[in-house]
Amino acid sequence: MKYHSLFALFAAAWIRRACRATACWGGMAGLQPAHAADPGIIDTHVHLWAISRPAGVEWIKKDDPVLYRDYLPADFEAVAKAHGVAGVVLVQAGQSLPDNQWNLDLTAHNRKLFRGLVGNLSQAIGSERFGPLFASLCKDPRYLGYRLSGRYQENLDEAFYRDLQLTADAGKSVDFLMGKYSLMDVDAIARRVPKLKIILDHFGNIRLDGKPLDPGWVADFRAVARHPNVYCKVSALYGRVEKQPAPRDPGFYRPILDLAFDSFGEDRLIFGSDWPVSQTSGDYASVLALTRAYFEAKGPAVCEKLFRRNAAAFYAVPAAD
């Protein structure tokens, strides 16, 4: 009887541990092996690039041993298979206008995985080039929107807002990498074009140094979050850290995660790995583990929204072919 009791206690402890490991996917039938990832993830921030492209990828240094190489579909297809990624929203890595179509063509062979593209129209928005190029790209239903990562206008003029309204009318979205755009700019845009779907990449590009978040920045972040058409991407946690390689301790990231969850709530946060940039600090499994360490405590329903449902709703991700 004594040994049976010990076995029962051991078994109960093992089951509790296994259930915690799968907490983010309460709808799964049965327990998964320890090496298998939860199925159904939609990763909304994956980059592919070829160094040989005419515009290259200007922000990657030639002496970078991890990033200065080609990252092509087969590279991420292997990662997706290993970690249960069911769908990807690709994000263009640079600002080259021809690379919008190149990214679509590059992934057309595997629409089941590469569900959509966030291109980059930083160099075209507010100019006469925008309308024809945008219309051409939107012929492919996988063109979900574009990112603004560079600013080529001193002021956000009427032509700029014209193109944002065209984007909203088409049901497409805009990712903001910030940089030369500020949270106050996004606040003004969200107010003026309330039907435009906007998402802040990488928590508004905040930099983390282990010190308390700047109160002024926090106030601007909360102001943007008050607009129901603005979402926040839980992405590039490693990349937010000033000193690399970034720490693996979930507690280091709690201030920004608490702020994002409190400001945007469970319905306007979306997961993105920032692969392969994340490879400079850790592999894909560690990115998932770091994100789940925070969100699994919120419960299976919140995790389902973060890793799948919110992405499908915000980006209008096409169904797998």
pLDDT (tens digit, 9 = 90+) per residue, 157-169? 999 999 999 999 9
Task: Give domain status of residue 9, yes or no.
Answer: no
- Rounded Cα distance between 61 and 52, Å, is 14
**How confident is the model at residue 319, as a pLDDT?**
85
By CB neighbour count within 10 A (0-12 exposed, 13-18 middle, 19+ buried), where does 148 fall? buried
pLDDT at 177 over 80: yes
Q: What is the pLDDT of residue 154?
A: 86
Residue-wise pLDDT tens digits, 26-65: 433 322 333 343 448 999 999 999 999 999 898 999 999 9
**DSSP 8-class letter at 53:** S
What's the pLDDT at 88? 98
Range of the domain at 48: 37-315
pLDDT at 179: 84
The residue with tokens 């994100």 is 291
* Confidence tier at 8 by pLDDT (50, 70, 90): very low
State yes or no: pLDDT of 284 exceeds 60.
yes
| Residue 30 belongs to some domain of the structure | no
Element containing residue 45 per DSSP (H, E):
strand 41-46
Q: Is residue 215 part of a domain?
A: yes
Q: Does 126 have pLDDT greater than 80?
A: yes
Tell me 92's DSSP state: -
Q: What is the mean pLDDT of residues 250-270?
A: 98
Look at residue 3 and tell me if it is in a domain: no
Instruction: Write out the two tokens for 84.
Output: 């249960």
**pLDDT band for position 15 (50/70/90)?**
very low
Strands of 141-220, DSSP E: 143-148, 173-176, 197-200
pLDDT tens per residue, range 80-98? 999 999 999 999 999 999 9
The residues near 135 (Cβ < 8 Å, ≥ 6 apart) are: none
The secondary structure of residue 47, as a DSSP letter, is: -
What is the Cα 215 distance to its own chain's centre? 25
What pLDDT was estimated at residue 29?
A: 30
User: Are the C-beta atoms of 284 and 274 separated by less than 8 Å?
Assistant: no
Residues 231-256: tens digit of each pLDDT? 999 999 999 999 988 999 999 999 99
What mean pLDDT comes out for the span 212-229? 98
Q: Does 289 reside within a domain?
A: yes
**Peptide bond just before 132 cis, omega within 30 deg:** no
pTM value? Answer: 0.88
What pLDDT sits at residue 28?
A: 31
Check residues 201 and 30 and name the one with the higher pLDDT: 201
Domain assignment present for residue 68? The answer is yes
Number of domains in the chain: 1
Average pLDDT, the chain: 89
The model's confidence at residue 23, banded by pLDDT at 50, 70 and 90, is very low
In a domain, 15, yes or no: no
Distance, in Å, from the CA atom of 240 to the CA atom of 246, rounded to the nearest integer, reads 8
Contact 47, 91 (CB under 8 A): yes
Q: What is the largest CA-CA distance in the chain?
A: 82
Using DSSP's 3-state secondary structure scheme, residue 233 falls into strand
Q: Looking at residue 50, which CATH number applies to its domain?
A: 3.20.20.140
The verdict on residue 263 lying in a domain is yes
